[in-house]
Structure 1
Amino acid sequence: METRVALIGIIIEDLEAVEKLNLILHEYGQYIIGRMGIPYREKDINIISVVIDANADIISTLAGKLGMQKGVNVKTVYSKK
């Protein structure tokens, strides 16, 4: 099955969601190329960028699971290739 590269942008506004979010990301670790987390203490939020290479169903499922968490906002951008 064809894979695509995507960037999943995550903003965490409820710090209680961090542990569950990390567990979900760990489940999909085999597809993750890299991730970067930035704590923005002045706004009391965390920003995470996750780059993934997987088929569209897996990317969509991961983004959906992340977005269902309370206090978590998620957007996904797909590469054209």
Structure 2
Amino acid sequence: MESRIALIGIIVENERSVEKINAILHEHREYIVGRMGIPYHKRGVSVISVVIDAHSDVISSLSGKLGMLAHVNIKTIYSKIFQNENL
């Protein structure tokens, strides 16, 4: 099966959602390449970017779980680059 690189952009509109976000990201920690969080106090939100290298189904699962949280908006961008694990 082939893995892909993806960027998941997350906007958190309520601090109460952060604990759930962190728990979901922790479940997928083996696939996470890097993560950056920026609190934007002026607008009362936080912006998180997560780079992930995984199979498409894992990326979709993670995106779906995050997208179902209240006060959380996400967008996932997939790379066009695939890597065959057999190489």
Aligned partner of 1:12 in structure 2 is 12
TM-score by length of 2: 0.92
RMSD: 0.4
Moved over 4 A (4+): none
- Is 1:22 aligned to residue 22 of structure 2? yes
Higher fraction of strand: 2
Q: Which residues of structure 2 form unaligned runs of 5+?
A: 82-87
Q: 2:55, 2:76 → 1: CA distance?
A: 13
Question: 1:26-81 CA distances to partner (integer Å, 9 max, x unpaired)?
Answer: 00000000000000000000000000000000000000000100000000001110
- 3-state SS, counterpart of residue 2 of structure 2: coil
State the number of aligned residues.
81
Higher Rg of the two aligned structures: 2
1:55 maps to a residue whose letter is H
Is 1:62 the counterpart of 2:67? The answer is no
Q: Give unmatched runs, 5+ long, in structure 1.
A: none
